[in-house]
Amino acid sequence: MTVDVDVIAIDGPTASGKGTVASLLAQQLGFHYLDSGALYRLCAYACLKHGVDLADEKDCGATASSLAPVFKEGRIFLEGEDVTEAIRQEAVGIAASKVAMLPAVRAALLGVQRAARKAPGLVADGRDMASVVFPDAKLKVFLTASASSRAQRRYKQLIDKGISANLRDLTRDLAQRDERDRKRAEAPCIPAPDAHMLDSSGLTVDETVATVLAWWKRLGA
């Protein structure tokens, strides 16, 4: 692990805006960006495609270990298939939160995530970036937003991508995913003790990014 490279860890629940905020931060700082959720989504997608039982730790773990995604020009390929949009489907997100409960899957994805730590720096978004993957991250942020604003945001995100969605079902699925993510035994989605808490319910994306940037600058970075 390249521990002398700075990491900003952005964790938080489903649809809290982590992805948008983390990628903008990375852009503004000229840092690399790790979307760790995409790895869990890729694993879930591969399990669904090959009929692997999402509760079978051994088979899901083996799927995660043999995952060989190719990231090219903003697109993601798996086994030669462009899965960029497919892995963003809600069904894949729900499946991802199931395989993410399995310690063998989490262990298999640890090395890939740590390998993303490259100069000049990394902004990493997920659930356990600050607690497990990069416990020495220089800045740790736990991004939240009210359940209703998260459901609204996810609804808009899916509709904008041309994916059909229903707000009532989304709100219910979000609550179930929150519950699974928060209560799992391994790497639950809870703030690290030294994380800065940020509720973005009443903030725009730009205001949220500016808040994190101000914390980063205050660290003298």
Q: What minimum distance in Å lies between the beta carbon of 220 and ligand CDP?
A: 28
User: 11, 127 in Cβ contact below 8 A?
Assistant: yes
How many whole angstroms separate alpha carbon 83 and alpha carbon 68? 13
192 binds ligand CDP (CB under 6 A): no
User: Which of 45, 108, 128, 209 contacts ligand CDP by CB under 6 A?
Assistant: 128
Structure tokens of 113?
């995530």
126 binds ligand CDP (CB under 6 A): yes
Phi, psi (deg, nearest 5) at residue 13: -75, 170
121 binds ligand CDP (CB under 6 A): no
Count Cβ atoms below 10 Å from residue 183 Cβ, excluding itself.
11
Binding positions for ligand CDP, 133-172, rule CB under 6 A = none
Helices (H), 17-128: 18-29, 36-49, 57-65, 90-99, 103-114
96 binds ligand CDP (CB under 6 A): yes
Nearest CA-CA partner of 174 in 197, 198, 154: 154
97 binds ligand CDP (CB under 6 A): yes
Q: Which is nearer to ligand CDP, 37 or 61 (CB)?
A: 37
Q: Which is nearer to ligand CDP, 103 or 217 (CB)?
A: 103
Closest residue to ligand CDP, based on beta-carbon distance: 37
Q: Which is nearer to ligand CDP, 13 or 121 (CB)?
A: 13
How many whole angstroms separate alpha carbon 95 and alpha carbon 84? 16
Contact positions vs ligand CDP (CB under 6 A)? 14-15, 36-37, 40-41, 93, 96-97, 100, 126-128, 177, 181
